[in-house]
Amino acid sequence: MTTDKKEQIAFHVGKILEILELDLEKTPERVAEMYVDEVFSGLNPDTYPAISLLEENVNNEVVLVKNISLVSFCEHHLVPMIGVAHIAYLPSKGVLGLSKIHQLARFYAKQPQLQERMTQQIAESLSQELQTEDVAVAICMKHLCVLARGVEDQTSEMETHVLKGRFDSDPETRSEFFLRISEKKVGERISRILSS
Ligand SMILES: [Zn+2]
C-alpha cells in the first residue's frame, strides 16, 4: 500500500520536474519517501500514538508543557510552517506521560494543515485522552509561504489558541495560562511565585 503510494508520488514528482526541465534523478523517490514516511505520515491513522492515562493521585493544578517545537506543512502551498505549541490541562482522571503530549501534537502536525484546524484537533484529542474538558492549546508559527512568496514578510508569526472547559470559563485559569506561556525563561515563574 505505502510502496504503491510512494511509486505513484515519485512518478508524478518526476513529471513535474520534467515540465520544469530539471534533470534531478533521485529527487522523485526522495520526495515520495519524505511525504509518505515523514512529513505527511500523520495521514496514516496507524501512526496515532498509543496513549494511556496514568492514574496518579492528581491535584487540580495546571499542567503546562511549553515550547513544544512543531513543523507542519500548510495545505495551501505544501511548504513548511515552523513554530511552537504550548499545551495545558487540569488533570481530572489522571495525567499523560510527557512524551505523549509531544507525540500527539506531532501526529496532527505531520499532515498538510491549517494552523487553526491543527490547534483545534490537538485540543479535542487531548481532551478525549485526558477525559476532561479543561485543556488549552496555543500555537505560534512562522509560515514559510508568507516568508518566501506572496507578501514576502520575514518577521510575522501567527498565533492561534483553543481554550476549553475552565480555561475558557474561569478568568483566573485563563489568565494563568496566558501569563505562564508568556514567561520566556524557566526561572521567571519561580521568581514570580517567590516574590508574591
Ligand atoms: Zn501556505
Buried b (16+ CB within 10 A) or exposed e, 152-184: eeeeeeeebbbbbbbbeeeeebeebbeebbeee
Closest CA to 186 of 105, 67, 26: 67
Which residues make up the environment of ion ligand 1, defined by Cβ < 5 Å?
74, 76-77, 145
Q: Is 77 a catalytic residue?
A: yes
pLDDT of 56 reads 75
Return averaged pLDDT per consecutive 10 residues of the chain, 196 residues in all: 88 97 96 97 96 81 94 96 96 90 97 98 97 97 90 90 98 95 73 69
pLDDT of 176 reads 95
Q: Is 115 a catalytic residue?
A: yes
Q: Domains of the chain: which residue ranges? A: 2-39, 63-195
Q: How far is the CA of 60 from the centre of ligand 1 (A)?
A: 39
* Sign of the dihedral defined by the CA atoms of residues 16, 19, 24, 26, in that order: positive
Q: Which CATH class is domain 63-195?
A: alpha beta
Tell which CATH classification among 3.40.50.300, 1.10.286.10, 3.40.50.10800, 1.10.760.10 matches the domain 2-39.
Answer: 1.10.286.10
pLDDT of 52 reads 87
